[in-house]
Amino acid sequence: MKILNYGSCNVDNVYTLDHIVTEGETEAAEALAVFPGGKGLNQSIALAKAGLSVFHAGCVGADGDFLLELLRENGVNTDWVKQSSEKSGHAVIQVTKHGENCILVYPGANGEIREEDVTETLSHFEAGDWILLQNELAKTEFILKEAEKRGLRILLNPSPCNEALLAADLSSVSVLILNETEAALLSGEKEPLAALERLKKKYPRTQLMLTLGEEGSLFWDGKSLHPQKAYPAEAVDTTAAGDTFTGYFIAGLFEGLPPQEILSRASLAAAIAVSRRGASVSIPRRDEVEAAMARRHSENE
Ligand code: RIB
C-alpha cells in the first residue's frame, strides 16, 4: 500500500511585525525570512518525518530546485513533481510577536497541473493506495474524480476552502481533516459540535478530523468520537501547525494505531512545531516527538 500526496510547494516569505496589517494600513516589518512551505510540501515532510514512505506529486517553478531538494533530503519521492518555466508558488506570511499569522498565497507553478499530468501520475497507483489532497493546486476536483475511479482511499484537507471546493462533490472522501473555519463553511454551522453533527449527516461514509487550535481536536472515526486536548506550547509561529498535525495524524492512521495514540502524537508534534519559526523546517522528527512524549509521561508519574 502506497501513499501519494498531490499538493502545493511554495516559497514562504515570512514578515515579522507588531500586529497583522489591516485594510488601509502600512506597517514596516521588523524582519524577513524565506522558508520552504506550501501545505502540500509541509504535509509530505510531516508524513516522512513521522516515518512513512511518501510520494509527492505537484509542480514547482524554474526557481524550485531547493523545494525539490528539501523533499528528497527528507526521503520524499519526487518522481511525479513537474518543473515548469513559471515561478514557484509563494506565500506572503505576516507573523506577530505572539505567533499569530495571516497568509496570502500566489499559486504560481501550483496552477500548472494539467489533466494529463494527473492521469499519468495516478496510473502508477492502484486500488487501496492512499491519496492526500489539500486545495492549493489546480485541478483538485479532477484529481478527486480520477482518484475515486481508481479506487484510491482519499484523504482531504480542504484548505483553503473556496467556492469551487464548496461546490465540489466530496462524497468519495474517506477522511476529511479540517479546522473550525473549514468545518463551518462546509456545514453551515459555526459551533464545532453542531458542525460535526451536520458533516456526519452530509458525509455518512467519511471519518472527520476536526482541529480546534488551543481547544484541541475531535476525531469521528465513523463509530465513536475521540476528543484530544492540545498540549501547552510557547507559540512563536503557528504556520504549518495544522500541516504537522495532519501529517502525523495520517501517519498514525496508515500504521493502524489506536485513535487516542494517533491524536496525542499528532497534537504533541503540532505543539513542538508552533514553538519554532518557519513552516516545513519547524516540523519535528518522530524521535523528537517520542522523546517529548516520554518526558511528559515521566513528569506525570
Ligand atoms: O499551512 C501553511 C502553509 O500555507 C504555508 O507554508 C504557506 O505556503 C501556505 O501554503
| pLDDT higher than threshold 90 for residue 217 | yes
- Write down the pLDDT at residue 300: 77
Give the pLDDT confidence of 246-300 residue by residue, as tens digits. Answer: 999 999 999 999 999 999 999 999 999 999 998 899 999 999 999 999 998 888 7
By percentage, how much of the chain surpasses pLDDT 70?
100
Q: Which residues contact residue 87 at a Cβ distance below 8 angstroms, ignoring those fewer than 6 apart?
A: 61, 62, 63, 108, 109
DSSP string, 99-142: S-EEEEEE-GGGGG--HHHHHHHHTT--TT-EEEE-SSSTTHHH
Report residue 202 as a C-alpha cell. Answer: 452530509
Q: How many CB atoms lie within 10 A of CB 220?
A: 19
- What strands, in cross-sheet order, belong to the sheet with 207-211? 77-83, 54-60, 3-6, 130-133, 153-156, 173-179, 207-211, 217-220, 225-228
For residue 190, give the DSSP letter: S
**Mean pLDDT over each residue of the chain, to the nearest integer:** 96
**What is the rounded average pLDDT of the residues 66-83?**
98
| pLDDT higher than threshold 90 for residue 235 | no
239 CA to middle of ligand 1, Å? 7
Q: Is 244 in the pocket of ligand 1 (CB under 6 A)?
A: no
In ligand 1, the atom with minimum distance to the C-alpha of 41 is 6
Q: Is 37 in the pocket of ligand 1 (CB under 6 A)?
A: yes
104 CA to middle of ligand 1, Å? 9
Which of 115, 75, 70 is CA-nearest to residue 88?
70
Report residue 213 as a C-alpha cell. Answer: 487550535
**8 Å CB contact between 155 and 132:** yes
Give the pLDDT confidence of 127-168 residue by residue, as tens digits. Answer: 999 999 999 999 999 999 999 999 999 999 999 999 999 999
- Write down the pLDDT at residue 64: 97
Report residue 96 as a C-alpha cell. Answer: 506577530
- Write down the pLDDT at residue 98: 84
Angle, helices 259-274/241-255, rounded to nearest 10 degrees: 150
Task: For residues 145 and 16, give the distance between their C-alpha atoms in angstroms, rounded to a whole number.
Answer: 40
Class of domain 3-9+39-88+107-300 (CATH, top level): alpha beta
- Write down the pLDDT at residue 297: 83
Q: Which amino acid is at 251?
A: A
Closest CA to ligand 1's atom 9: 38
pLDDT-derived band at 3, boundaries 50, 70, 90: very high
Closest CA to ligand 1's atom 6: 37
Pocket test for ligand 1, best of 12, 135, 162, 282 (most atoms within 8 A of CB): 12
- What strands, in cross-sheet order, belong to the sheet with 101-106? 31-37, 10-17, 89-96, 101-106
Domain boundaries, the chain: 3-9+39-88+107-300
Q: Which amino acid is at 196?
A: L
Give the pLDDT confidence of 4-52 residue by residue, as tens digits. Answer: 999 999 999 999 999 999 999 999 999 999 999 999 999 999 999 999 9
Task: For residues 233 and 271, give the distance between their C-alpha atoms in angstroms, rounded to a whole number.
Answer: 5
SS3 content of the chain, % helix, strand, coil (to 5): 40, 25, 35
- Write down the pLDDT at residue 153: 98
What's this model's pTM, rounded to 2 decimal places? 0.96
